[in-house]
Amino acid sequence: MSANVPAIPSEAGSLVPTHWYNIAADFPEPLPPHLHPGTGEPVTVEDLIGLFPRALAEQELSVERYIEIPQEIRDVYAIWRTTPLVRATRLEKALGTSARIFLKYEGVSPVGSHKPNSAVAQAYYNRNEGVTKLTTETGAGQWGSSLAFAGALFGIDVEVWQVRASYESKPYRRYLMELYGGRVHSSPSELTEAGRAILAADPETTGSLGMAVSEAVEVAMRDDATRYALGSVLNHVALHQSVIGQEALAQLQAAGFDGADVVFGCAGGGSNLAGLSFPFLREVLAHGAKTRIVAAEPVACPSLTQGEYRYDFGDFSGMTPLLKMYTLGKDFVPDPIHAGGLRYHGMAPTLSHAVNLGLVDAVAIEQDAAFHAGILLARTEGIVPAPESTHALAAAYRYLAESDRDETIVIGVSGHGQLDLPAYGGFLDSYPR
C-alpha cells in the first residue's frame, strides 16, 4: 500500500500533519445533510451561526478534502503531538497471536485523552470571532477538561455541564476542569429550563450526555458573546481529530508497515474512531486499500449495533439540528457504566454514514470484558487505558482469538485511565497479586 499513500502534509522532520483530513470529500455517496428542525431543510452556514462561530460552521458543511491547521493551533498541538504509536510486542505474546499490534496512544495529552485535538481548534476559532465564553457538556470529564484547558490558553471562560453519574463518581476530572479555570455543574441542573424540566420528571436521573447538551446549548443561546462547543458527533469535530489517523499512517510507514489490516477504536459520539480511522478509509476509498475498521461500543449503549439509522436530535430536548445517525432515540438513558464517554444515544453522522455504507463494522462489548482487556494491557505494556478505550482493546482481543492471523492491527487507545483507577478496583479480584 505504501506506493498509494499520498504524501501526508506535514512539516519537514515532523509527522504532525499540517492539514486536517475531511472524509466528506471522499465518500462514494454524499453525506446526508443536517436538517433544520423548524423547516426540515438542509442547514446552511448561516443557520449554524449563533451556536458556532463562522469558521466552524463552514467546516461543519465543508467538502474540501484538506483544511489547513492554523499555526497557532499547531503550536499548541506541539505540546504533546506526535502521540506514540507503540508496537505492543508483550501484549502480542500474552495473546499468543502472530499479528502485529500497534497502539495509537492519545493519553499523553495534557488532559489525558484525544479530546484536546478539537478543543484547541474550537477555542481558537471562537476567540478569533470575539467569543468570550463557551458552554459544553461532558461525560467522564475528558471533553470538559479539554475545553477548560483550551479556554485557559485562548482566554475564554468555560462552563461545563457534567453528566451526574460521572460528576459524582469521578471528582478528579472536575478538579482538573477547575484547575484550568472552568466552572462545572452537575447535569441535569437547576440552572436551565431543560434541566429543571428533566429533574421535575425524574429527580433521581443519572443524567445523560443528551441532557447535558441541552443545558449547555440553552445557556449558549442566551447571549451573543457565548457559544456552544461539542466534543464529538459533529463533522468539524471528526475533522479536527483526523490528526490521529494521519499521524498513525505516517508512523506505520516510518516503521516499515504499509498501513493496517484492521483498525479498532471505541465509539461513543464517534470522534475518536472517526479521527483514527478516516485517514485509513481515505486509503480504502481513494486507493483501494483493504483496511477494515471496527467500532467498539458498550452493550449498555449500543447505538450502532442496536439503534436505527434515521434523523434524530443530538440532544435530549430537541434543540440541535436533526442529524442522520444511528440512534437509540434522544430519550435513551444508558446505565451508568464507567465509560461515561460512551454513554451517548446517537453516533457521529460521518461515522454512521461509513457504517451504513459498509465501510465500518460495529461490535458491542460487555463492561467486564472491557476492564479485563484494560488490565491485560496495563500488565503487559504498562499503559492504563481509559474505560472507554478498553472497549477497543476487548474487541481486538476477541478478533485475534478467533484464529491466528498474520495481520497488522492498530488499536486506538483514546486516553489514559489514571483518573478512573477506582473503577478498575472492582475487576482485580480475579487476578493474583
Mask for 6-25, x = binds a copy of itself (CB under 8 A): --------------------
The answer to the question of residue 419 lying near a copy of itself (CB under 8 A) is yes
| CA 411/CA 418 separation, integer angstroms | 19
Measured from the CB of residue 179, what is the shortest distance to a copy of itself in angstroms? Answer: 5
Measured from the CB of residue 176, what is the shortest distance to a copy of itself in angstroms? Answer: 6
Residue whose C-alpha is closest to residue 188's, from 208, 218, 159 = 208
- The strand pair at 85-87 and 100-105 is best described as antiparallel
The answer to the question of residue 167 lying near a copy of itself (CB under 8 A) is no
The answer to the question of residue 168 lying near a copy of itself (CB under 8 A) is no
The answer to the question of residue 309 lying near a copy of itself (CB under 8 A) is no
Measured from the CB of residue 19, what is the shortest distance to a copy of itself in angstroms? Answer: 22
| CA 18/CA 242 separation, integer angstroms | 11
Measured from the CB of residue 340, what is the shortest distance to a copy of itself in angstroms? Answer: 16
User: Which of these segments, 39-47, 132-140, 312-320, 372-380, binds a copy of itself (CB under 8 A)?
Assistant: 372-380
What are the DSSP E strand ranges found in 200-358? 226-228, 262-266, 292-298, 308-313, 322-327
The answer to the question of residue 275 lying near a copy of itself (CB under 8 A) is no
Measured from the CB of residue 25, what is the shortest distance to a copy of itself in angstroms? Answer: 31
- Of 15, 73, 111, 123, the one binding a copy of itself by CB under 8 A: 111
Q: Give the number of other Cβ atoms within 10 Å of residue 72's Cβ.
A: 14
| CA 135/CA 241 separation, integer angstroms | 20
- Of 9, 37, 84, 336, the one binding a copy of itself by CB under 8 A: 84
DSSP assigned state of 259: S
Q: For the chain, how big is the Rg over CA atoms in Å?
A: 20
User: Which of these segments, 285-293, 318-326, 389-397, 416-424, binds a copy of itself (CB under 8 A)?
Assistant: 416-424
Q: Counting runs of H as helices and runs of E as strands, what totals does the chain give?
A: 17, 14
| CA 195/CA 54 separation, integer angstroms | 28
| CA 250/CA 243 separation, integer angstroms | 11
- Of 35, 108, 197, 369, the one binding a copy of itself by CB under 8 A: 108
Cell digits for 425? Answer: 478496583
| 188 cis-preceded (ω within 30 degrees of 0) | yes
| Strand-pair partners of 253 | none
How many residues contact a copy of itself, by CB under 8 A? 48
Alpha carbon separation from 66 to 177, 240, 242 (Å, rounded): 32, 11, 10
Alpha carbon separation from 96 to 50, 90, 374, 401, 425 (Å, rounded): 54, 10, 17, 9, 26
User: Which of these segments, 205-213, 229-237, 262-270, 423-431, binds a copy of itself (CB under 8 A)?
Assistant: 423-431
The answer to the question of residue 384 lying near a copy of itself (CB under 8 A) is yes
- Of 90, 196, 398, 405, the one binding a copy of itself by CB under 8 A: 90
| CA 142/CA 270 separation, integer angstroms | 14
- Of 28, 38, 40, 382, the one binding a copy of itself by CB under 8 A: 382
The answer to the question of residue 183 lying near a copy of itself (CB under 8 A) is yes
Measured from the CB of residue 357, what is the shortest distance to a copy of itself in angstroms? Answer: 36
| Strand-pair partners of 225 | none
Q: Which residues bind a copy of itself (CB under 8 A)?
A: 75-76, 78-80, 84, 86-87, 89-90, 108-112, 116, 149, 152-153, 157, 171-172, 175-176, 178-183, 375, 378-384, 418-419, 421-422, 424-425, 428, 431-433
